[in-house]
Structures are given as C-alpha cells and as structure tokens.
Amino acid sequence: MPGWSQPVSDHKTLITSLRATLPTATIRDAAELASRDPGFDARNFGASALVRPVDTAGVAALVKFCAEHGVSLVPQGGRTGLAGGAATVAGQVICDLGGLNRIEEIDPFARVAIVQAGTTLSALQEAAAVRGLDPGIDLAARGSATIGGMVSTNAGGIMAFRNGTMRHRVLGL
C-alpha cells in the first residue's frame, strides 16, 4: 500500500480509495479545497483531501484508513483558532468534524449536555437557553467555533475569569 504521508504524487488514487472506504462522507480534493475559504490561516486547506464523516463510525473508518496507508490525519472543526493547529500540507487528509453536529441530550436537572464534536457553541447556547441553562463560556466566534475544537484548545473566551475554560466544562469524551 502506498505511503501517502510523503509528498503525494497520486492524489486520484487517494481520493478514489477514500470514496470507496467512506461512501456516506463528503470528500473534497485539493482543487476543491483551494476554492474554499480557509479561515484565519491559508494553510488550513493545504491538504490533499478533506473528509467530512456523518457519524462516529465514519470517523473510525477514516482513522483506520489513514493508519493503514500511512496518511497523516488532521482534525478540524470551525477553523477559528489562531495558533495554526489546523494547518495542513500536501499529503495529509483533513477530518472535518462539522458533520458531527448533533446535540444528543441536555439534562436540565444534572446540568449536563451531551454534544458531538462539530456542534457550534451558538447551537449549544441556544439549546441550553431553552432549558434555562447557559454553558458558561462565550466566544466572539460562537457561530463557527465547535465544541470539539474548543475542548482541544481549552478555549476560554470572554467569560474565562468568571467561569473557567473548557477544561472546567468537560465531564468526559
């Protein structure tokens, strides 16, 4: 099996193999990525492909595919971070977690929300407000910042001194 983590010369085979492995996922090649807005960092879309799984089984299949083929995998959420954590280069594959955007449960008595990684902060804030709750964290990028990205960077935002950062809000992964 080819090792695509080195400079990729056969992008077509990579894309074809990804589509065969993940038939329900959205898959974009490097040419399609070049036409999209990369967010704050132009390097966010330097990869050879972007895969947007629709469920955790798709994420697992993508991780397995990349491990078996020696492909570097870079997870991305809303691409609102400014530290370069979502930057990619040719030969890598982006796992866009935006397809995992469901709020599975909000328990107002336990004051716990179970959300998927691609859920935006604003979606969580709105769903919590209906139940008289507030997640206790806020960012200017609330409409595009995802919970998974916020957890991975320990985001704090404008309420961090008062309410703490994401690390103080996570019970489990």
H/E segment holding residue 104: strand 103-107
**pLDDT tens track for 36-82:** 777 777 777 888 999 999 999 999 999 999 998 889 999 998 888 77
Domains of the chain: 11-99 (3.30.43.10), 103-168 (3.30.465.10)
Q: At 146, which amino acid appears?
A: T
123, two tokens? 């979606």
Q: What is the mean pLDDT of the chain?
A: 89
| Helices and strands in the chain, H and E counts | 6, 6
Query: pTM of the full predicted structure?
Result: 0.85
In 3D space, the residue among 123, 122, 168, 119 whose CA is nearest the CA of residue 148 turns out to be 119
Q: What is the pLDDT along the chain (173 residues), one digit of tens a residue?
A: 444 444 445 778 899 999 999 999 999 998 888 877 777 777 778 889 999 999 999 999 999 999 988 899 999 988 887 777 788 888 899 999 999 999 999 999 999 999 999 999 999 999 999 999 999 999 999 999 999 999 999 998 888 999 999 999 998 88
